[in-house]
């Protein structure tokens, strides 16, 4: 049974609760979601959940540090009648109850180069100590998202993404999750995901919370270094991962997921001028995806064609780089767009950063770096993440090695 107790706690306890998950250096990527107004002088926002997933009974959470997944499962209340979202899987119990399972992508602890190991807390835990509203401090960019601590002594927890990037189109700073070994041991989550998770665990996120509110939740939490499994198959989630993530292959069940770019009316920042009547998040942005079926309602623009885009012929690389026409670099039946280079390659918004890789004693070609934009090279047919030296030529560039997508 999930037990929740909200109370006011001293600032000292709140500091101890979050002390184990300091902020890493901010990096960039193409997956941007909820606005980070703190970058432009605003205060940490309070986040509201208006989705249909309710507080679940007999909840359990399983973390796979290997696959970078978090699986939440529990029983629907007997009185539940609303329609479930497309990313929630259901199974019937012998007693007639319905079990719901949702999987989220997470980040894990970065490897310490001095030890070759990552900070982690594998094991079984029976409680979560939650803070539904965690404002940013000089310690880390908590972003106002919930903080759910499972490791009492080390402060390991599930919390918001910490990292943010600037949207090239709007100029806004937006929160973004890097799914990979990038944290100090905690499991970072997309902001909207940790809000939804907290709601299912019983921290009612349909209204704003104060910074001193806390919750103690009785729940089974298992953290493992191995893959998680569901109905006899290995668990993965349809979300890009950094090259260091060892995603399962073969006997895999792929869970769908969601983000606020496509369904902005599920989680939004609290606005005291709007009613908390179930429509608080309406008109925040264009709803591009049907939350019940997962069907896309708005056709996205064609992907950016740039260095590293998969191709079958030169005609598919219809762009120029510094006045040089791109061509399709073919090996067997696979290919990617590129141009010859010396020292440097040009980048463009929406595509992975590039690198001038050595391809011969006196030649180089532009290659896409392994990044979230290409799902760690998985999106570029026939390539894999490899370390290559920079081709300097006559450019005067410094020697460098980068991880790129190469045949």
Terminal CA-CA length for the chain: 53
pLDDT band at residue 28 under the 50/70/90 scheme: very low
CATH, range 7-269: 2.40.440.10
Q: What is the mean pLDDT of residues 24-41?
A: 64
**Bridge partners, 128 (sequence order):** 217
Q: Compute the average pLDDT of residues 147-166.
A: 94
Q: What does the pLDDT look like over 75-131, one tens digit per residue?
A: 999 999 999 999 999 999 989 999 999 999 999 999 888 888 888 889 999 999 999
The arithmetic mean of pLDDT across residues 222-240, rounded, is 97
Per-residue pLDDT tens for 281-338? 998 888 999 999 999 997 655 667 899 999 999 999 999 988 899 999 999 889 999 9
pLDDT at residue 19 above 60?
Answer: no
Q: What is the mean pLDDT of residues 233-260?
A: 96
Would the pLDDT of 397 be above 80?
A: yes
Q: Could you tell me the sign of the dihedral formed by the alpha carbons of 124, 130, 133, 137, in that order?
A: negative
Residue 37 sits at φ, ψ, to 5 deg, of -75, -10
**Rounded Cα gap, residues 386 and 299, in angstroms:** 34
Domain residue spans in the chain?
7-269, 314-406
The radius of gyration of the chain from alpha carbons, rounded to an integer in Å, stands at 23
CA dist., res. 287 & res. 85, Å (int): 14
Strands 69-75 and 229-230 turn out to be unpaired
CA distances (Å), 389 to each of 205, 356, 372, 396, in order? 50, 8, 21, 14
Once rounded to an integer, what is the mean pLDDT over residues 7-26?
42
Can you give the pLDDT at residue 299? 66
Q: For the whole model, what pTM was predicted?
A: 0.72
d(CA 159, CA 130): 10
Provide, rounded to the nearest whole percent, the portion of the chain with pLDDT above 70.
90
pLDDT at 257: 98
- Tell me what pLDDT residue 29 has: 32
pLDDT band at 159 (very low <50, low <70, confident <90, very high): very high
Residue 192 has pLDDT above 60, yes or no: yes
Distance, in Å, from the CA atom of 353 to the CA atom of 377, rounded to the nearest integer, reads 12
* pLDDT-wise least confident of 107-116, 139-148, 197-206, 264-273: 107-116
250 confidence band (pLDDT: 50, 70, 90): very high
CA distance 370 to 404: 5
Query: Is the separation of the CB atoms in 105 and 245 below 8 Å?
Result: no
Q: How far apart are CA 282 and CA 264, in angstroms?
A: 8
What pLDDT sits at residue 300?
A: 57
Burial class from Cβ neighbours inside 10 Å (0-12, 13-18, 19+) for residue 102 reads buried
Confidence label for 7 from pLDDT (cuts 50, 70 and 90): very low
Q: Average pLDDT of 155-169?
A: 89
Q: Is 116 left (phi over 0), alpha (psi -120 to 50) or beta?
A: left
User: Pairing state of beta strands 89-92 and 173-175?
Assistant: unpaired
């Amino acid at each position: 049974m999930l037990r929740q107790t909200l109370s006011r706690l001293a600032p000292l306890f709140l500091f101890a609760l979050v002390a184990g998950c300091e902020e890493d250096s901010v990096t960039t990527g193409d997956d941007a979601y909820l606005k980070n107004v703190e970058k432009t002088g605003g205060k940490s926002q309070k986040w509201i959940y208006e989705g249909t997933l309710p507080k679940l009974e007999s909840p359990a959470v399983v973390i796979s540090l290997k696959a970078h997944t978090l699986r939440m499962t529990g029983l629907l209340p007997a009185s539940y009648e609303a329609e479930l979202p497309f990313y929630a899987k259901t199974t019937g119990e012998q007693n007639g109850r319905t079990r719901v399972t949702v999987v989220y992508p997470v980040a894990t602890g970065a490897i310490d180069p001095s030890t070759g190991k990552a900070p982690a807390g594998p094991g079984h835990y029976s409680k979560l100590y939650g803070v539904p509203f965690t404002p940013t401090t000089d310690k880390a960019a908590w972003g106002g998202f919930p903080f759910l601590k499972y490791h009492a002594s080390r402060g390991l927890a599930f919390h918001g993404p910490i990292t943010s990037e600037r949207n090239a189109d709007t100029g806004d700073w937006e929160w973004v999750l890097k799914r990979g070994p990038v944290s100090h041991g905690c499991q970072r989550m997309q902001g909207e995901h940790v809000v939804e998770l907290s709601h299912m665990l019983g921290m009612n996120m349909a209204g704003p919370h104060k910074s001193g509110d806390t919750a103690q939740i009785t729940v089974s939490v298992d953290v493992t270094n191995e893959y998680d499994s569901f109905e006899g198959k290995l668990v993965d989630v349809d979300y890009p991962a950094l090259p260091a993530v060892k995603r399962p292959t073969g006997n895999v069940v792929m869970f769908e997921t969601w983000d606020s770019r496509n369904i902005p009316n599920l989680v939004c920042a609290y606005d005291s001028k709007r009613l908390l009547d179930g429509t608080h998040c309406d008109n925040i942005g264009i709803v591009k995806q049907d939350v019940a079926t997962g069907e896309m309602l708005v056709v996205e623009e064609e992907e950016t064609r740039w260095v590293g885009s998969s191709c079958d012929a030169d005609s598919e690389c219809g762009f120029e780089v510094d006045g040089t026409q791109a061509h399709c670099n073919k090996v067997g039946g696979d290919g990617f767009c590129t141009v010859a280079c010396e020292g440097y390659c040009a980048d463009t918004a929406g595509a992975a950063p590039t690198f001038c890789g050595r391809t011969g004693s006196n030649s180089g070609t532009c290659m896409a770096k392994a990044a979230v934009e290409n799902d760690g090279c998985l999106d570029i047919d026939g390539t894999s993440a490899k370390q290559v030296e920079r081709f300097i030529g006559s450019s005067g560039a410094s020697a460098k090695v980068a991880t790129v997508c190469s045949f």
